[in-house]
Structure 1
Amino acid sequence: MDIAHQRELARLLATLRRERRTQSGLDQRLVPPDKATAYRVAGMVAEELGWEVVGWKIAAMKEGLQRQLRTDSPIYGRVFAPIVESPVSVEHAKLCSPIPEVEYQARLDVDLPPREKPYTLAEVTEAVVSLHTGIELAECRFVHDAAFPPLPAILADGAGSGIVVCGAAIPDWKTRDIAGQEVLLTCNGTLRRKGTAGEALDHPLVPLTWLANELSRTGIGMKAGQTVSTGTLTGMLRPKPGETYVADFGPFGSVTATYA
């Protein structure tokens, strides 16, 4: 895929984001041939948009979700401003194939720049100033129909990054049982899903460490103040207009998102 086609795809994806619309399928000549090319295009999309990158999203840390997303490794994407606080109400009709994903969100206190030596879990933990409850309202610029393009096109689209809804910071999170805490996701008061970070991620800092090293390997760094949504604990659901989702993290609090 030559640079001209990469730029053409980046302009298309940037336009779809600006105009908050989707399309069915993608011309085969614009489908990136591999993940490396897809991530380069994602960087070009950010350049085309000129929007502030306020964080990152991670998905598919473990095999089950990797199978669903047709990948053999975790994936990531940029999160653009703004990050919103819970509770939030969004207009379903203005979102692109929205999906509510219950996630822990880590906020950085220091930069994690590219370097030759891999980052350790301990180093990344020290870089985190706060860990929050949250929901990512993931979006995709491609309609989920028979023409849905291969994974590299989705990676070029920021791995489906959308709106990050941030809950309260968890006090003393380094000494709490983050991995073992059961999280319940209800829709209009009815339980839809439940899960734990231990089952889905091992711990939110595990995917964060993976991302720090994956970005570093490609010459990209994370910056102080950025927030990383570390991966869904409850899988993926298709919301309908009028539905309110509440993610109950037990003693850590809850996060609410309504699709108006």
Structure 2
Amino acid sequence: MDISKQKELARLLAGFRRYGTAQSGLDPALVPPDPATAYRIAAMVEEELGWEVAGWKIAAFKQEMQRQLRTDAPIYGRVYAPLVMAEPVTRVHADCHGPIPEVEFEVKLGRDLPPRDAPYSTDEVMDAVESIHPGFELAECRFVHDDNFPPLPAILADGAGSGVIAYGPAIENWRDADIAGQEVKLFRNGELCRSGTAAEHIDHPVVPVTWLANELSRTGVGMKAGQMVSSGTLTGMLQPKPGDTFVADFGPFGTVTANYV
């Protein structure tokens, strides 16, 4: 895929975000040949938009979700300002593209994790974390999920389906709390529909964040203080309908609410 095609796809994807649009399918000539190319195009989308990267999303940290998303490794994407916001969050369903609400721990960095030669350890990343919050990732995809849905590298170039990060209050004394073992329950319109733990799906929120820190270090991007990282779904993926209210109950860590109107 030559640089002209990469730039063409970056302009297309930036336009989708700038104007709130989506499309069915993608010209095969514009599908990135591999994840590395896709992530380079995602960086070009950032440059094309000129928007601040306020956070990151991580998905498919373990094999079960990797099978669902047709990947053999975790994936990531940029989350742009002002789409990192305190809950409760309300989204207009008709304005969303393939919306997927996912219950996640949101990890806020207190200091930079810049590119470097040596890999970051989990302890180093833990020390760089300012706070951990209960939250939602309200994912979207700028490609219509139909029979023409393009291969995964096209989705990676689109930020791996990144949308909104909605976060609740910071968890007090999070370093001493049983974050990994805490059961989280997802209610849809008052009815329990899903549950899960970090231990099942991501081990601990800082573990996937460490993976991301090393991926971004390796590719010369790095992470910045103040960015919020959505660390991976604890309850899988589901499709909302207009009028749905989702409440994620993190037990002693609080609740977060997302509405689709």
Per the normalisation by structure 2, the TM-score is: 0.99
Specify the alignment match of 1:78 in structure 2.
78
Write out per-residue CA displacement over residues 84-117 of structure 1, whole angstroms, 9 at most, x where no aligned residue.
1111211111111110000001101110000000
| Structure-1 separation of matches of 2:110 and 2:202 | 22
**Paired residues for 1:1-260 under 5 Å:** 1-82=1-82, 83-260=84-261
Where in structure 1 are there 5+ consecutive unaligned residues?
none
User: What letter corresponds to residue 255 of structure 2 in structure 1?
Assistant: S
**Count of aligned pairs:** 260
1:18 deviates by 1.1
3-state DSSP class of the match of 2:11?
A: helix
1:19 deviates by 1.3
| Structure-1 separation of matches of 2:205 and 2:89 | 23
| Structure-2 separation of matches of 1:114 and 1:89 | 36
| Structure-2 separation of matches of 1:117 and 1:31 | 32
| Structure-1 separation of matches of 2:121 and 2:209 | 10
Where in structure 2 are there 5+ consecutive unaligned residues?
none
Per the normalisation by structure 1, the TM-score is: 0.99
| Structure-1 separation of matches of 2:87 and 2:55 | 17
3-state DSSP class of the match of 1:232?
A: coil
Write out per-residue CA displacement over residues 162-198 of structure 1, whole angstroms, 9 at most, x where no aligned residue.
0110111000001000000000011100111100000
Runs ≥4 residues deviating over 6 A: none
| Structure-1 separation of matches of 2:232 and 2:224 | 19
3-state DSSP class of the match of 2:68?
A: helix
Over aligned residues, Cα RMSD in angstroms? 0.5
